[in-house]
Amino acid sequence: MDAVAATRPDPAGAEPDPAGIVRFDRTERLVHWTTAVLVLVLLATGAAMYAGPISTLVGRRELVKTVHVLAGLALPVPLLVGILMPRRGGGLRADARRINRFDAEDRRWLRPRRAARPGKFNAGQKLNASFLVAAGVVLLGTGVMMRWPGLWSVDLRTGATFVHDWFAIGVALSVTGHIVLALRDPIAFAGMRRGVVPARWARRTHPQWYEEVTGHPADRLAPNPQRETGVRR
Amino acid sequence: MGRRVVLGLVGLGAIGVVTGARVQDFLERTLGPVIAKDGTGVTALLPFGRFRIYTVTGSLPSRSPDEWSMRVGGLVDTPLRLTYDDLRAMEPTSLTRDFQCVTGWRVSDVAWRGVRLADVLDRAGVAGAARAVRFTSFDGAYTESLTLAQARRRDVIVAYEMEGSPLSRAHGGPVRLYVAPMYGYKSLKWLDGIEVTDRVVPGYWEQRGYDIDAWVGRSNGRDDEAT
Residue B117: name the closest of B152, B166, B72, B80 by CA: B152
Q: Show Cβ contacts of residue B160 under 8 Å, excluding neighbours closer than 6 positions.
A: B84, B87, B88, B113, B114, B166, B167, B173, B174, B175
**Domains: count for chain A:** 1
Indicate which of B7, B24, B54 best probes the interface with A, i.e. most A CBs within 10 Å of its own CB: B54
* Dist CA A182 CA B159 (whole Å): 50
Whether A163 sits inside 8 A of B52 (CB atoms) is: no
CA atoms of B42 and B6, how far apart (whole Å): 29
Contact yes or no for B18 and A62 at CB 8 A? no
8-state DSSP, A151: G
> Which residues in B lie closer than 8 A to residue A72 (C-beta atoms)?
none
Collapsed DSSP state (helix, strand, coil) of residue B63: coil
- The answer to whether residue A45 is domain-embedded is yes
Checking if the pLDDT of B221 tops 80, the result is: no
CATH number where A68 lies: 1.20.950.20
Q: Which domains does chain B have, with CATH numbers?
A: 2-45 (no CATH), 69-220 (3.90.420.10)
Q: Report CB contact under 8 Å: B16, A55.
A: no
**Contact list, A143 vs chain B (CB under 8 Å):** none
Q: CB–CB of A146 and B217 under 8 A?
A: no
Backbone angles phi, psi at A169, to 5 degrees: -65, -40
A106 within a domain of the structure (yes/no): no
Which pLDDT tens digit goes with each residue over A127-143?
999 999 999 999 999 99
Q: What is the mean pLDDT of residues B122-139?
A: 95
Each residue of A66-123: pLDDT tens digit? 999 999 999 999 999 999 999 999 999 999 999 999 888 888 888 877 678 899 999 9
Q: Region B94-113: what's the mean pLDDT? A: 90
| Tens-digit pLDDT profile for residues A139-167 | 999 999 999 988 888 889 999 999 999 99
Q: Which of A63, A158, A167 to mutate to test the interface with B (most CBs of B within 10 A)?
A: A158
Q: Is residue A107 part of a domain?
A: no
Chain B hits for A123, CB-CB cut-off 8 Å, are: none
* Cross-chain residue pair B24–A142, CB shorter than 8 Å: no
Q: CA Rg, chain B, in Å?
A: 19
Cβ contacts below 8 Å, chain A against chain B, sum to 147
Give me chain B's average pLDDT, please: 88
A111 or A43: whose pLDDT is higher?
A43
Query: How far is the C-alpha of A102 from the C-alpha of A156, rounded, in Å?
Result: 35
Q: What residues of B are in contact with residue A137 (Cβ under 8 Å)? A: 6, 10, 13
Helix spans in chain A (H): 26-50, 52-58, 61-74, 76-84, 90-100, 104-110, 123-147, 154-184, 186-194, 199-205, 207-214
Residues 46-65 of B with CB under 8 A from A: 47-48, 51-60
Residue B79 pLDDT more than 90? yes
Q: Is the per-residue pLDDT at A222 higher than 60? A: no
Q: What percent of chain B has pLDDT over 70?
A: 89
pLDDT at B40: 63
pLDDT score for B105: 87
Chain-centroid distance of CA B102 in Å reads: 11
Whether residue B188 is predicted with pLDDT greater than 90 in this model: the reply is yes
- The CA distances from residue B200 to B73, B74, B197, in Å, are 15, 13, 7
**Nearest Cα residue to A73 out of A44, A41, A50:** A41
- Structure confidence at residue A231 (pLDDT): 42
* CA neighbor of B150 nearest in space, from B120, B195, B192, B182: B182
> Is the preceding peptide bond at B174 cis, omega within 30 degrees of 0?
yes
CB atoms within 10 A of CB A159: 27
What pLDDT is recorded for position B223? 46
Cβ of B105: how many Cβ atoms within 10 Å? 25
Say yes or no for a CB contact (<8 Å) between A146 and B6: no
Relative orientation angle of helices A26-50 and A61-74, to the nearest 10 degrees: 150
CB-CB under 8 Å, A61 with B16: no
Does the pLDDT at position B60 exceed 90?
Answer: no
Q: B128 to chain A nearest CA, in Å? A: 35
Residues paired with B81 in a beta bridge: B71
Bigger pLDDT: A20 vs A167:
A167
Asked if residues B203 and B145 have their Cβ atoms less than 8 Å apart, the reply is: yes
A228 confidence band (pLDDT: 50, 70, 90):
very low
Question: Chain B interface, mutation test: which of A161, A164, A169, A174, most B Cβ atoms within 10 Å?
Answer: A161
Q: What is the pLDDT at residue A17?
A: 62
Measure CB to CB from residue A160 to each of B7, B104, B217 and give the nearest one: B104
Instruction: Classify residue A212: in a domain, yes or no.
Output: no
Q: Which of A142, A178, A156, A143 shows the shortest CA–CA distance to A45?
A: A143
Q: Which amino acid is at B91?
A: E
pLDDT band for A223, please (50, 70, 90 cuts).
very low
Q: Please tell me what DSSP assigns to residue A222.
A: P
Domain that holds residue A189: 21-92+121-197
Q: Which of A102, A141, A165 sits opposite B1 (nearest CB)?
A: A102
* Selected residue with higher pLDDT from A215 and A180: A180
Distance CA B196, CA B134 (A): 6
DSSP string, A36-94: HHHHHHHHHHHHHHH-HHHHHHH--HHHHHHHHHHHHHHTHHHHHHHHH-TTTTHHHHH
- Cα distances (Å, whole numbers) of residue B222 to A80, B38, B106, B150, B162: 43, 30, 12, 17, 20
Among A45, A57, A68, A157, pick the best mutation site for testing chain B contact (most B Cβ within 10 A): A157
Assess contact for B132 and B148: CB atoms under 8 A. Answer: yes
- Whether B220 sits inside 8 A of A133 (CB atoms) is no
Is residue A34 one of the residues assigned to a domain? Answer: yes
Nearest CB neighbour to A130, from listed B2, B208, B216: B2
